[in-house]
Amino acid sequence: MAKITFGEAIRQAYEEEMARDRDVFLIGEDVGRWGSLYRSSTGLLEKFGPDQIKDTPISEAAIAGCGVGAAAMGMRPIVEIMYIDFITIAMDQIVNHAAKWRQLSNGKVKLPMVFKTQGGAGRRNSSQHSQCLENWFVYVPGLITVMPSSPYDVKGLLKSAVRDDNPVVFIEHKALYFEKGEVPEEEYLIPLGQAEVKRTGDDVTIIATSWMVSFALEAAERLQEEGISCEVIDPRTLWPLDRKTIIRSVKKTGLCMVVTEASAEGGWSGEASSVVHEHCFADLRRPVKRHCGMRTGIPYGPILERRCIPSVESIAGAAGALLREARGKG
């Protein structure tokens, strides 16, 4: 396996899928000559030309609309929205058109497309470039919602998303772009809707998403030194949700904590919590705990920015407290 960055894994997925299928194309702001915001499409314009790498004006509604029309006609667009904050301008195309056409046409019109975007804090982009809006898309029927947490996952999931015949909202975390991880040199796919147990354990199940997965894993390492064994699950696809993996883990540990950078109110963390309560109620030693970001705009300053989202320390503290409560020592 080669050790590459998250961004390079994305570029490899682009290159492999465009070479495999000429109907796959990337469209968005600065994806061509500039190589995209985090350089994940560098060199692809020279290799595939303007038919498959399309720079656009600054209009998210137009970019998404072009993608929807192309997908309806049988192509497989990857629509890049530079920041998830800007996806608000394309919500009509995503929610009222892409998500609905297959059902409204009784399956005659397929929408094989990926809405690919970046979200989250950690890079001092302030409140209009740092939001976590994945909850919106989980709620919309007809959309698949994906959030990878590693170079291996982002490549395998993106390739699967490109090949799926349904619209996929593919949300990457900007703080992960320069993180490195092992990625096979041979081709592989990761099925959408399949969670992964990132670390096995017996005392507490931690369900974490996106950037928070790495935080949860580090917190689990620290807790292991205290004799606390944590199982860390990355759903990878928020919808459809792999309930079986989550339920199996919680039935084993009897305790569950859900960690998201997005705030708890009205969020996916509530969905995950409900799944556990509905299917594992008799196995739970304590109610599911949610450990999420603050309900606030993200400040520009690095200290305040970090205070708004979970940290390794806060995750370890919350998981440890949950176990102590279960043991009657809280």
Number of H helices, E strands in the chain: 12, 14
* Phi, psi at 217, each rounded to 5°: -65, -40
The catalytic residues are 129
| CB-based burial, 7-33: b 16+ in 10 Å, e otherwise | bbbbbbbbebbbeeeebbbbbbbebbe
Average pLDDT (232-255) is: 98
Give this prediction's pTM: 0.95
CA distance 8 to 43: 12
- Which residue ranges does the chain devote to CATH 3.40.50.970? 2-183
pLDDT of residue 124: 74
Gyration radius of the chain over CA positions: 20
Instruction: Indicate if the pLDDT at residue 133 is higher than 60.
Output: yes
C-alpha 118/C-alpha 105 separation (Å) is: 31
Please check whether residue 52 is in contact with residue 105, taking contact to mean a CB–CB distance below 8 angstroms: no
Strand ranges for the chain from DSSP E = 2-5, 24-28, 53-55, 76-81, 114-119, 144-146, 168-173, 180-183, 196-199, 204-208, 230-234, 237-239, 256-263, 289-293
pLDDT of 113 reads 98
pLDDT, mean over the chain = 95
pLDDT confidence tier of residue 123, bands split at 50, 70 and 90? confident
Inter-residue contact 121 to 175 (CB < 8 Å) = yes
User: Please, which pLDDT band fits residue 49 given cuts at 50, 70 and 90?
Assistant: very high
Q: What is the pLDDT of residues 266-283, one digit of tens each?
A: 999 999 999 999 999 999
Helix (H, G, I), strand (E, B) or coil at 203: coil
Q: Are strands 168-173 and 144-146 parallel, antiparallel or unpaired?
A: parallel
Rounded to an integer, the average pLDDT of 231-259 is 98
Report whether pLDDT(330) > 60. no
**Class of the domain covering 196-326:** alpha beta
Give CATH superfamily name and number for 2-183: Thiamin diphosphate (ThDP)-binding fold, Pyr/PP domains (3.40.50.970)
For residue 292, what are its two tokens? 């999420």
| pLDDT for position 329 | 64
Counting residues of the chain whose pLDDT is more than 90, the rounded percentage is 92
For residue 223, the model assigns a pLDDT of 97
pLDDT at 187: 96
Asked if the model's pLDDT at residue 241 lies above 90, the reply is: yes
How far apart, in whole angstroms, are the C-alpha atoms of residue 281 and residue 258?
16
Q: Which of 107, 77, 108 is nearest to 93 (CA)?
A: 77
168-209 tens-digit pLDDT: 999 999 999 999 999 999 999 999 999 999 999 999 999 999
Residue of 324, 288, 306 lying closest to 175 (CA atoms): 306
- Per-residue pLDDT tens digits for 93-107: 999 999 999 999 999
Distance of CA 289 to the CA centre of its chain: 21
Q: Which residues pair with 144 in a beta bridge?
A: 168
pLDDT tens track for 53-109: 999 999 999 999 999 999 999 999 999 999 999 999 999 999 999 999 999 999 999
Model pLDDT, residue 102:
93
User: What size, in residues, is the chain?
Assistant: 330
d(CA 107, CA 98): 13
**What pLDDT is attached to residue 130?**
82
Rounded CA-CA distance 120/152 in Å is 20
Residue 10: is its pLDDT beyond 60? yes
Q: CATH 3.40.50.920 in the chain, residues?
A: 196-326
Q: How is residue 220 annotated by DSSP? A: H
Residue 286: which pLDDT band, with cuts at 50, 70 and 90?
Answer: very high
Half-sphere exposure of 258 (CA within 13 A, CB side): 23
Q: What six digits make up the tokens of 85?
A: 């904050």
DSSP letter (8 states) at residue 97: I
Percent of the chain with pLDDT over 70: 99
Q: What is the dihedral of CA 300, 304, 308, 313, to 10 degrees?
A: 130
Asked whether residue 122 carries a pLDDT value surpassing 90, the answer given is no
Torsion angle of the four alpha carbons 106, 77, 129, 124, in this order, in degrees rounded to the nearest 10: 140
